[in-house]
Amino acid sequence: MDWIMILKAFIVGGTICLIGQVLIDKTKLTPARILVAYVTTGVILGGLGIYKHLINFAGCGATVPLTGFGSLLAKGTISEIESNGFIGAFTGGVKAAAGGISAAIFFGYIASLISKPKIKKQ
């Protein structure tokens, strides 16, 4: 077990979440907008090749936040363009992120089927 990496993941991941909290408290952005902003930021940083240094440094501290999801989309797109040409721009991103997207849809669907809606107390 690499404890240094786990500590780095804790600190970097925590900091990324802290920035999100500051944005919520200071700017009154809705959570949906924050998630969109994070993913788009991740795509841009991933496309510029900056985000991979953060992943090398902090591992899951950088990949687990939604910026990591965005950088995965960008990374997939670029590597697919390199191997398959122009069509890769359209196939690469979703291909790389397919595991996370499929898992979220499938487990989300199953979880909402088995759950009982909470009755709101007045």
| Nearest distance, CB of residue 115 and other proteins, angstroms | 4
| Nearest distance, CB of residue 30 and other proteins, angstroms | 9
For residues 14 and 65, give the distance between their C-alpha atoms in angstroms, rounded to a whole number: 9
| Nearest distance, CB of residue 27 and other proteins, angstroms | 12
| Nearest distance, CB of residue 4 and other proteins, angstroms | 10
The answer to whether residues 23 and 34 touch, using CB atoms and an 8 Å cutoff, is yes
For residues 11 and 22, give the distance between their C-alpha atoms in angstroms, rounded to a whole number: 16
C-beta of 25 vs 122, nearer to other proteins: 25
Direct distance between the N- and C-terminal alpha carbons of the chain, in angstroms, rounded to an integer: 49
- CA–CA distances in Å: residue 88 to residues 71, 77, 78: 16, 6, 7
Selection from 26, 120, 12, 106 nearest residue 62 by Cα: 12
